[in-house]
């Protein structure tokens, strides 16, 4: 390769890898596999060694991770959060072992740990109390996410067992268990929201939310695995793991002390076969030299410790034949393509289906043809996915697969909104899976929670013609004798069902609103809307401008609400439910104001306050006639700013010349 060609390739690889780094670390939406990323990084590293005159200080080989998000305060790490060198083959691991032996001799041990597929975190403790939690960021500095990390139950906020130093840092990985991921993703799908590709993305996206109360609703977990102190307390890493476990930290039970590389390979091979039985994702094994003095002697490169390496598993893959593509219609009308495959064994289970996500996946990324042989992967994904096509086996006469134009159930032409990847069937009042799905959603535990009614019963009642709309559920008492004739319903079960339906009429407005199944109106959004608008009539008649003033209501939700309430059939349905006695008015007690000194004024609260919680400040503002809004605009009167306020909000407020006040100044305004 000539110097000119090398320069061009180095620039191309650098640009591509920087974008992948941004997608992975900042957006939490990777577009390339770890294996492919590492191979590109290896190529860039080799070229830079061969042509050092073209090495840029900002090269991906010189940096640990991605850029810093703007929503959180940036904190410099006291000890840099370096990344690990990694390998996918045994020979490179043997070479690593030989380098260690050459440097420190043969008298050493390894500690083997599972490599969790999550989000790295560094926790600082002072006098036994957690005072700060910071993400990896770019390895030199990261985002302060302390408020969010405090919601993770397995991270101790205060240590009770003694023996720990006055100040120390401990590092680990925040992750989400697979079952929790499946449940939460299913809820997002039900609410018409975008789903996450894998648990790591969900955990990362959650930890970077700005509302810690929402973070608390998502069950994150954390394993801790490395201690940093000013003065060495222990001689070995293994000793420190046992100690921090005794202090109350969540340490993974599968770590192992190994006396040689053969034991390391035994550990690696065991977990390569058994990793799919864990309740969380791992993508490899971390191998560390155990003795701290030997670690210091081995030292560091600019990017990685020389005394540790990650052995990464390749995602489980298999090749099989694509038999057909089918399409599923969800409650919100979203049409999801599914690949039907010739059964193949993958990661211990037989795979017959794989997700295809959307039309772009079929037509642009994979460019699927009928009868293609495809590679299926099950790594960080819960549902297997097709990663590529074996073009060598493609029949040259096979036609390309075209995404359907009409609903597979009701034949209505599909619609795709600008900026969205998903096609929708707009026939929400006449498409059977949407009708049934909406009724199943309405009776669910988080909505109306109707005892005696389940998904299968709804399906049966729909097929038999007893119910076609949500409001029909409240007329089932008129058909009790007919229901007895169906055979599957006994008198007791019918009575239980009718009792449950009657009791559901007392469910509060926010449950009813959530139960209606309006696209993008999830459980939290429903509560915010009820708190702001108080009645269904106020909500239904609200303009776009009035909707987006409400807390956490953005343009997408506002448009969805306007579309829903402009539908005549939706209006009729709400009137029928009103007539049945369902609650469409907020049951909040009327607030008796302390004063009207803040009347007509709007506020946003941001940051952390020493003497008050944000909820307490919100109550103070509202009890004195003020109004809390969710987004900064030129109409905002005051920004109440505390510590660790997001720099993006501060910058926008300053740009619009909005007064920025402290909590003390706020209290001064009301005397």
Cα–Cα distance between 296 and 214 in angstroms, integer?
42
Place of tokens 């907020």: 586
The candidate with the shortest Cα–Cα distance to 527, out of 575, 574, 586, 570, is: 586
- Nearest of 166, 164, 171 to residue 243 by alpha carbon: 164
Within a 10 A sphere around the Cβ of 92, how many other Cβ atoms? 14
Quick one: 497 exposed, middle or buried, by C-beta within 10 A (0-12, 13-18, 19+)? buried
Give the H/E segment covering residue 457.
helix 455-463
Euclidean distance between CA atoms 387 and 368, whole angstroms: 11
Active site residue 115: yes
Integer-rounded Cα Rg, in Å, for the chain is: 29
With tokens 């510590």, the residue in question is 643
**CB–CB of 295/154 below 8 Å?**
no
Q: Is 607 left (phi over 0), alpha (psi -120 to 50) or beta?
A: left
First to last CA, the chain: 75
**Phi, psi for 141 (deg, rounded to 5):** -145, 150
- Taking a C-beta distance cutoff of 8 angstroms, is the pair 42, 84 a contact? no
Say if strands 220-228 and 167-176 run parallel, antiparallel, or are unpaired.
Answer: antiparallel
The 10 Å Cβ neighbour count of residue 585 is: 14
Kind and range of the H or E run holding 93: helix 90-104
The half-sphere exposure of 166 on its side-chain side, counting CA atoms within 13 A, is: 2
DSSP code for 24: I
Taken as a whole, the chain contains a residue count of 671
CA distances from 14 to 10, 196, 406, 547 (A): 6, 27, 43, 44
- The DSSP element (H or E) to which 151 belongs, if any, is none
Q: Give CA–CA dist 203/402, Å, rounded.
A: 34
Q: How far apart are CA 504 and CA 514, in angstroms?
A: 14
Whether the CB-CB separation of 377 and 387 falls below 8 Å is answered with yes
Number of alpha carbons in the 13 Å side-chain half-sphere of residue 548: 12
Tokens of 605: 């609260």
Q: What are the residues whose beta carbons fall under 8 Å from the beta carbon of 190, sequence distance 6 or more? A: 330, 331, 332, 441
Query: Given 63, 115, 378, 438, which residue is catalytic?
Result: 115
User: Please, are residues 670 and 595 in contact by the beta-carbon 8 Å criterion?
Assistant: yes
DSSP state at residue 450: -
Task: Assign 226 to helix, strand or coil.
Answer: strand
Positions annotated as catalytic residues are 115
């Amino acid at each position: 390769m000539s110097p000119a060609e090398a320069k061009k390739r180095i620039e191309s690889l650098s640009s591509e890898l920087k974008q992948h780094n941004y997608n992975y670390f900042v957006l939490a939406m990777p577009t390339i596999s770890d294996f492919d990323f590492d191979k590109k990084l290896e190529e860039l590293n080799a070229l830079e060694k061969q042509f050092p005159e073209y090495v840029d200080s900002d090269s991906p080989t010189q940096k640990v991770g991605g850029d810093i998000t703007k929503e959180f305060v940036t904190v410099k790490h006291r000890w840099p959060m370096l990344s690990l060198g990694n390998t996918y083959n045994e020979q490179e691991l043997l070479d690593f072992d030989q380098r260690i032996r050459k440097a420190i001799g043969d008298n050493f041990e390894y500690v083997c740990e599972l490599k969790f597929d999550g989000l790295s975190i560094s926790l600082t403790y002072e006098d036994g109390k957690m005072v700060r939690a910071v993400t990896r960021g770019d390895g030199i500095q990261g985002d302060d996410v302390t408020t969010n990390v405090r919601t993770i139950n397995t991270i101790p906020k205060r240590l009770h067992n003694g023996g720990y130093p006055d100040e120390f840092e401990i590092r680990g990985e925040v992750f989400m268990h697979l079952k929790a991921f499946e449940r939460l993703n299913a809820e997002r799908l039900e609410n018409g929201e975008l789903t996450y590709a894998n648990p790591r993305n969900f955990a990362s996206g959650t930890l970077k939310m700005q509302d810690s109360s929402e973070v608390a609703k998502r069950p994150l977990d954390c394993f801790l695995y490395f201690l940093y102190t000013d003065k060495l307390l222990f001689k070995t890493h293994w000793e420190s793991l046992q100690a921090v476990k005794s202090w109350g930290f969540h340490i993974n039970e599968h770590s192992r002390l190994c006396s040689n590389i053969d034991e390391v390979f035994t550990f690696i091979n065991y977990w390569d076969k058994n990793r799919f039985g864990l309740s969380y994702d791992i993508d490899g094994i971390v191998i560390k030299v155990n003795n701290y003095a030997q670690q210091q002697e081995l030292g560091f490169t600019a990017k990685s410790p020389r005394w540790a390496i990650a052995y990464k598993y390749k995602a489980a893959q298999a090749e099989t034949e694509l038999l057909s593509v089918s399409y599923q219609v969800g409650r919100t009308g979203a049409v999801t393509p599914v690949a039907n495959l010739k059964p193949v064994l993958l990661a211990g289970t037989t795979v017959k289906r794989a997700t295809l996500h959307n039309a772009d996946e079929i037509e642009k990324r994979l460019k699927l043809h009928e009868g293609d042989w495809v590679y299926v992967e099950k790594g960080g994904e819960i549902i297997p996915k097709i990663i590529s096509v074996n073009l060598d086996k493609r029949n040259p006469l096979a036609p390309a697969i075209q995404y359907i134009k009409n609903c597979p159930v009701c034949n209505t032409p599909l619609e795709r909104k600008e900026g969205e990847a998903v096609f929708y069937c707009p026939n929400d009042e006449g498409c059977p899976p949407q009708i049934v799905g909406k009724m199943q959603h309405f009776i669910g535990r988080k909505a109306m929670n109707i005892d005696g009614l389940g998904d299968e019963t709804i399906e049966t009642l729909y097929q038999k013609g007893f119910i076609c709309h949500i409001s029909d559920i409240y007329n089932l008492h008129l058909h009790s004798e007919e229901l007895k004739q169906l055979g599957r319903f006994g008198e007791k079960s019918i009575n239980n069902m009718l009792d449950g339906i009657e009791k559901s009429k007392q469910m509060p407005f926010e449950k009813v609103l959530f139960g209606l199944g309006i696209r993008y109106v999830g459980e939290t959004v429903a509560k915010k809307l009820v708190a702001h608008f108080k009645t269904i009539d106020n909500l239904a008649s609200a303009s776009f401008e009035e909707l987006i003033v409400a807390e956490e209501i953005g343009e997408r939700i506002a448009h969805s609400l306007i579309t829903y309430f402009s539908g005549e059939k939706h209006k009729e349905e709400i009137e029928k439910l009103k007539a049945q006695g369902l609650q469409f008015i907020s049951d909040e007690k009327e607030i008796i104001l302390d004063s009207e000194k803040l009347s007509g004024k709007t506020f946003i609260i941001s940051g952390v306050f020493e003497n008050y919680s944000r909820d307490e400040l919100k109550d103070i503002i509202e009890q004195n006639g003020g109004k809390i809004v969710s987004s900064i605009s030129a109409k905002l009167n005051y920004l109440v700013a505390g510590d660790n306020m997001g720099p993006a909000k501060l910058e926008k407020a300053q740009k619009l010349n909005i007064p920025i006040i402290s909590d003390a100044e706020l209290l001064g305004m009301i005397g």
